Structure 1
Amino acid sequence: MGRELPIDRVDREILAELQKDGRQTITELSEKVRLSISRCQRRLRELERAGVIRGYKAVLDPEAMGLGFEALVFVTLQREDQSTLAAFDEAVAAIPNVLQAQRLFGDPDCLLHVVAVDLADYRKLYEGQLTRLPGVQKLTSTIVMKHIVEARPLPT
């Protein structure tokens, strides 16, 4: 994480525009936020240096990539000591099909967002990797039926 940076109205406009289109040129961005190119670029670099902007990436369509099956996996751990948590975190991070993993307060302990080709592929992933994660006591899967809100930009 970067250092703390006070974010004003202009910075928020820059961030909102970049969340809409991260590939726009600095010229396009500066016009939209009504700044000179040099002032816009300075602000943009400072937002990057401070860690407010963590990076730029392409957003891929899972179905177009042959990964149209999605499941949410609720994980209950046997123990929550530091070594178990560290081993679990490291093992989960090594599975490419896990798009997101969050540790939760309460029960269950973790939530995983997983993609696969289809149900048979998911079963292989479940039996071959997820059930073998360190410290797992119980896994509960829920199949994603439909995305209602997807990768929404942060409010600015």
Structure 2
Amino acid sequence: MSNERELDRIDRDILFHLQQDGRLTNVELAKRVGLTPPPCLRRVKRLEEAGIITGYRARINPEAFGRGLEVTVSIEVSVSDLKTLEGLESTIAAYEEVVEFRRVFGTPDYYLRVLVADYAAYEAFQTSKIIGIPGVARVISQPTMKKIKVID
């Protein structure tokens, strides 16, 4: 089960329902996908062993713990030496405010998704933690106006 073509309708239904609620019992999941519990559990285990299901986690409401402002940040770098880039990546990845961090092809070089309390907290984050990292040439920040669709 190493590629998408090998997933049938039931596998896709299992994935859909587990993405909606990872805490479903096997009995409830089986009922939703039209199986009895034993074959449903075998399919879930196969999906896990194949690396298609990589884990289960709780989704947290950022506003409930003081992180109501989400900012998408693009970063352009001014260097190309691997050591500096690795340092930049490890530094930024370690920040608890950064919930997603991607290196992309083209310009900009990186995208971050940052969660903070408010605009003052974001300003403090950017000025004290991002600006000044060796290799950072340009930072562009885009606060989120409205979330329309989010798939965790």
Could you tell me the TM-score, scaled by structure 1's length?
A: 0.89
**What are structure 1's unaligned runs of at least 5 residues?**
none
Partner in structure 1 of residue 13 of structure 2:
13
Could you tell me the TM-score, scaled by structure 2's length?
A: 0.91
User: Is 1:4 aligned to residue 2 of structure 2?
Assistant: yes
Partner in structure 2 of residue 145 of structure 1:
145
Instruction: Provide the rounded CA distance (Å) in 1 between the counterparts of 2:8 and 2:133.
Output: 44
Partner in structure 2 of residue 101 of structure 1:
101
Contact 1:102–1:110 (CA under 8 A) maintained in structure 2: yes
- Once the two structures are superposed, what CA deviation does each residue of 1:66-103 show, in whole Å capped at 9, x if it has no partner? 11112111100012332222222211210110111111
Partner in structure 2 of residue 80 of structure 1:
80
* Residue 21 of structure 1, CA deviation: 1.3
Range moving further from structure 2, 79-88 or 54-63: 79-88
Let me know the Cα RMSD of the aligned residues. Answer: 1.6
Partner in structure 2 of residue 45 of structure 1:
45
- Once the two structures are superposed, what CA deviation does each residue of 1:43-83 show, in whole Å capped at 9, x if it has no partner? 10111111101111111111111111121111000123322
Contact 1:79–1:135 (CA under 8 A) maintained in structure 2: yes
- Structure 1 runs (4+) greater than 6 angstroms displaced: none
Count of matched residue positions in the alignment of Structure 1 and Structure 2:
150
Higher helix share: 2
Paired letter, 1:90: S
Instruction: Provide the rounded CA distance (Å) in 2 between the counterparts of 1:59 and 1:16.
Output: 16
Instruction: Provide the rounded CA distance (Å) in 2 between the counterparts of 1:133 and 1:54.
Output: 32
Give aligned-pair identity as a percent. Answer: 38
Contact 1:91–1:134 (CA under 8 A) maintained in structure 2: no
Contact 1:14–1:29 (CA under 8 A) maintained in structure 2: yes
Question: Secondary structure at 1:40's aligned position in 2?
Answer: helix
Greater RCO structure (CA 8 Å; 6+ sep): 1
